[in-house]
A and B are shown apart, each in its own frame.
Chain A
Amino acid sequence: MTTQNLPVTASVNSTAAQMTTLHLRVGWWSLLVFLSLGTVLELLHGFKAGWYLDVSNETRRLMFTLAHAHGTLLSLVHIAFAATIRLTANGSPGKRRIASRALCVSGVLIPAGFFLGGIQFYAGDPGIGILLLPAGAFLLFVSVFLIAMDQTRNHQSEQV
């Protein structure tokens, strides 16, 4: 049993290591991107850019702010996900793989949805780019749910 399981364990560990590396890389780089976006937004405030600050562009301002906030938070979620994988070795590889992919895609869709929704909009309503948001939100929900389930099962198996 032990000898048969060794390659599988090694494979799992290797996958986990790759996943950790991926999410750390994605997390930190996207954090840099969204912090830079925050700086751009602050510059727009600094120079009182009407394109961003005028009352008629209130929706754009809200959408860009939400894109910045969600992008930054999702970057941190990537890093937290990487740390979770590193700290808990006994998780389900299949669920983690799905969670990883869902997190990666939602990390793009959610801020992109807000951002595109603010580029072109209709008075108090965001543009159709906002349609990316529900898809991203669903994937994020799936990802977090799988991670939470994985952690619960991991905790139970350790207890047993």
Chain B
Amino acid sequence: MSTSNDIREPDGRLAAVLLAVIAVVLTAVAAVFREPGQNEAKADLAKTRFDVPHQRQSNEFATSNACRSCHPAEYSSWHDSYHRTMTQIATPEAVAAPFEDVELQDGVLTCRLERRGNEFWATVFETNWKQKYLDAGISPESVIGTTMSPFLTRKVELTTGSHHMQVYWVSHRGQMLELPFYYHIDGHRWIPRDDSVLAPPGDHDSSVRSSEWRLDCIKCHSVGGRPGLSVRGDHLQSTVAEFGISCEACHGPATEHIRHHQNPVNRYRRHFNDSGDPTIVNPARLSHTRSTQVCGQCHISFNPRDNEDFLRNGLQYRAGDKLETTHDVQQFTDEDQKTGGYTTYWGDGTCCVGGDEYLGIAGTACHLRGEMSCLSCHSMHQSDPNDQLRRNMDGDQACLQCHTTFAEDIPGHTHHAAESSGSRCYNCHMPHTTYALFTAMRSHRVDSPDAGVSIRTGRPNACNLCHLDRTLEWTAIHLNRWFDTPVVEMNQDEKTIAASLLWLMRGNAIQRLIAAWHMGWEPAHQASGNSWQAPFLAQILEDPYSMVRYVAHQSLSKLPGLEGLKYDYIGPAETRRHVHQNVLKQWQQQSRGRHSAPEHLLLTTDGDPDRDEIERLLQQRDDTPMVISE
């Protein structure tokens, strides 16, 4: 006969086993889901080299990982964007360039690249190092492996960019410096740094393009970046909340928002209340000025207003703040005006740097007198990652959403056929007059074309960027007739030579680049034909600025008969001259004399390029040094 104890005993054991199983499962679950503790963070920090910036948990920033579970769609669209990958740790997933046994030379430096497992390494040395040691009476072999070794071998720590170009950062003597070669993703090739931007020839020492990631890039290419200047001011211990441009760059720190909304009652109260959430910034709910400044915190050239504070604590701008409080925005000055204003501004203060769109929009009437903001046309979410344009905002709708009356009679306003490219709002009011990333980009200073502005400021007008074969006088007369735009005084060249050729032959580097780019632009081919540009673009294959040559080659390749034209814009000068001559010969055989209005095109009556006139204009070329390191 069983006793009551006999019955309970097996149940007790069962309960103990069950409790043990539950405890093991709960411990495992807790281990999987818990956040890294402080001790672990300290251990990670101890392993981290202080000259390399690293991600560190912050009480203020929660990072994008915390946003994902509640905002999956927004997280996903941001994750697809190039903002996320603006700065990445150099992992095999992040690195776009080939590193396997690559050797690069730019005439001064040699860079040997290699991959070691999941790490990427670079060895940089002066190409003629042996001769330098011999000249100093030192045996080159004797210095290998010593402190006098010319070889600097460094691990690539970070990458910048993932769309058109990628830059690689290494630690050297307590600094985070870029490799002297960039990887051009579109062109699938390594390019010397100086040939990846718009820069004067042979300007290897330009400090403009030699950046220190922890002082320059950290401001915009990370969230919560702190250069971390030490108390004694002798070194940096840089940290970021997150590499790349993530949620909290535009929405502000989210720790409080997350803490508040971990309570489901608070979440559902918010779902049923459309009044906005005071715990987080939604740029779409800000005033158009503050909303634009959220983008403007980075899409602008600036210096920190309090540099000491920036060096120690990072920029204190948070989404929704007044930008001027923390940013000393680099504006066009009277001094620039006196000197021609050809650094990174046109003569009227319009910025010609792609990526610095804030100054453009901030100076636009639609923003100053209306409510246009970046979000009128762009969105980080539910948009094409290429331009981040909102749906349907790649056409006239962008302007017609406010300027509704023009929709009723577009040709009445544009004086072009409704379907022609001349009736597209963007083409006339936002022409491609800025440069960045190997191409011309649309200006974000929305205004109306004016030949007088082109003459006064050097900024090409939309009419002559499409009607490449017409003069400034022709444009002035038409604009005066249609819109009462004043006609200004012009010299003989401006009255008789196509404006595009004036910019291409005697303009400054940015004017030449923009004119060359438009000679490969399809709407311009429709308006002015495509049979006459080749000899002039061929001339630009010998331009002193490598980036201008690159753009000229791209445009040449879009002309009939020149598709697939072989040309290396950073190849030897002799080879470039050879290609120039070949293009000229080919054009003379195929297209000479076909154009119907050669009178403004520097062509002789036989249809040949007018060498005397071309030489005369080349002699007048504006060689003011220009650097646009975007």
Contacts and interface: CB of A to CB of B under 8 A. Distances in A.
Interface string B58-90: 000000000001111111110000000000000
Contact of A124 (B2, B7, B71): B71
A56 B268 contact: no
A100 interface: no
B369 interface: no
Contact of B72 (A56, A128, A152, A159): A56
B64 to A, nearest CB: 14
A152 B14 CA distance: 13
B72 to A, nearest CB: 4
A122 B266 CA distance: 13
Contacts of B69: 124
A125 interface: yes
B73 A123 contact: yes
A52 to B, nearest CB: 14
Interface string A122-160: 111100100000000000000000000000100010011
Contacts of A59: 72
A125 B7 contact: no
A42 interface: no
A123 B261 CA distance: 13
B499 to A, nearest CB: 48
A122 B7 contact: no
B47 interface: no
B271 A58 contact: no
Chain B contact residues, majority secondary structure: helix
Contacts, number: 35
Given A55-B76, A156-B7, A159-B7, A123 B2 contact: no
B271 A125 contact: yes
Contacts of B271: 122, 125
Interface in B216-268: 264, 267-268
A160 to B, nearest CB: 7
Contact of A55 (B7, B72, B264, B267): B72
A123 B72 contact: yes
Contacts of B2: 159-160
Given A159-B2, A159-B7, A160-B2, A124 B76 contact: no
A88 B418 CA distance: 84
Given A159-B2, A159-B7, A125 B73 contact: no
Nearest to B6: A159
Interface string A103-115: 0000000000000
Nearest to B73: A56
A71 to B, nearest CB: 24
A30 B69 CA distance: 32
Given A122-B271, A125-B271, A159-B7, A55 B70 contact: no
A58 B76 CA distance: 11
Given A156-B7, A159-B2, A125 B72 contact: no
Contacts of B72: 55-56, 58-59, 123-124
Q: What class of interface size applies to chain A in its complex with B?
A: 10 to 19
Contacts of B70: 123-125
Nearest to B72: A58
B71 A125 contact: no
B591 to A, nearest CB: 49
B268 to A, nearest CB: 7
Contacts of A54: 73
Contacts of B7: 156, 159
A123 B71 contact: yes
Contacts of A123: 70-74
A120 B181 CA distance: 52
Nearest to B382: A56
A54 B75 CA distance: 13
A54 to B, nearest CB: 8
A123 B2 CA distance: 59
A125 B263 CA distance: 12
Contact of B267 (A56, A125, A156): A125
A59 B268 CA distance: 15
Interface string A13-32: 00000000000000000000
Question: Max chain A CB contacts within 10 Å: which of B69, B73, B77, B267?
Answer: B73
A55 B73 contact: yes
Contacts of B77: 55
A32 B608 CA distance: 83
Contacts of A125: 70, 264, 267-268, 271
Interface in B160-190: none
B327 to A, nearest CB: 32
Contacts of A56: 72-73, 76
A54 B74 CA distance: 12
Nearest to B1: A160
A152 B15 CA distance: 13
Contacts of A152: 11
Interface string A34-57: 000000000000000000001110
Nearest to A122: B271
Interface string A47-78: 00000001110110000000000000000000
A54 B76 CA distance: 10
Interface in B105-145: none
A156 B11 CA distance: 11
Nearest to B74: A123
Contacts of B267: 122, 125
B15 to A, nearest CB: 11
Contacts of B11: 152
| Most chain B beta-carbon contacts within 10 A, residue among A123, A156, A160 | A123
A151 to B, nearest CB: 12
A12 B72 CA distance: 54
Contacts of A58: 72-73
Contacts of A128: 268
Instruction: Please give me the 4 A-B residue pairs with the lowest Cβ-Cβ distance, nearest first.
Output: A56-B73, A124-B70, A55-B76, A58-B72
26 contacts: A55-B72, A55-B73, A55-B75, A55-B76, A55-B77, A56-B72, A56-B73, A58-B73, A59-B72, A122-B268, A122-B271, A123-B70, A123-B72, A123-B73, A123-B74, A124-B69, A124-B70, A124-B71, A124-B72, A125-B70, A125-B268, A125-B271, A128-B268, A152-B11, A159-B7, A160-B2
Interface of B: 2, 7, 11, 69-77, 264, 267-268, 271
Interface of A: 54-56, 58-59, 122-125, 128, 152, 156, 159-160
Given A128-B268, A159-B2, 5 more contacts: A54-B73, A59-B72, A122-B268, A123-B74, A125-B70
